[in-house]
Amino acid sequence: PNCIRLPLLSGHLDAGSGAIFTLQFTRLDAFWKGVLEFRKRIDPQSLFSESRSVMHSVLELLTAMQVSFACTDHGLKAPRTSEPNKQNTSSPNTASAARARFRTVALIARSLGSFTHRHHISLKESTGKLTGMKYRNLGKSGLRVSCLGLGTWVTFGGQISDEVAEQLMTIAYENGVNLFDTAEVYSAGKAEIILGNIIRKKCWRRSSLVITTKLYWGGKAETERGLSRKHIIEGLKGSLQRLQLEYVDVVFANRPDSNTPMEEIVRAMTHVINHGMSMYWGTSRWSAMEIMEAYSVARQFNLIPPVCEQAEYHLFQRDKVEMQLPELYHKIGVGVVSWSPLACGIITGKYENGIPDSSRASLKSNQWLREKILSDDGRKQQAKLKELTHIAEKLSCTLPQLAIAWCLRNEGVLPKITAHVASDIDKILGNRPHSKKDYHH
Catalytic residues: 186
422 closest CA partner among 410, 438, 437: 410
Q: Where are the alpha helices (DSSP H) in 203-281?
A: 229-243, 262-274
Amino acid at 242: R
Residue length of the chain? 441
Q: Is 428 helix (H, G, I), strand (E, B) or coil?
A: helix
What phi and psi, each to the nearest 5 degrees, are found at residue 30? -65, -35
* 8 A C-beta contact, residue 14 and residue 103: yes
Buried b (16+ CB within 10 A) or exposed e, 114-132: bbeeeeeeeeeeeeeeeee
d(CA 93, CA 416): 63
- DSSP 8-state symbol, 156: B
- DSSP 8-state symbol, 83: G
150 closest CA partner among 180, 184, 182, 187: 180
What phi and psi, each to the nearest 5 degrees, are found at residue 131? -105, -25
d(CA 256, CA 254): 7
78 closest CA partner among 144, 25, 122, 4: 25
33 closest CA partner among 409, 395, 331, 347: 331
Crossing angle of helices 92-111 and 52-65, rounded to 10°? 60
Q: At a CB cut-off of 8 Å and minimum separation 6, what does 165 contact?
A: 152, 155, 156, 194, 195, 198
Q: Please provide the DSSP assignment of 278-324 as one string.
A: EEEEEEES--HHHHHHHHHHHHHTT-PPP-EEEEE-BTTB-HIIIII
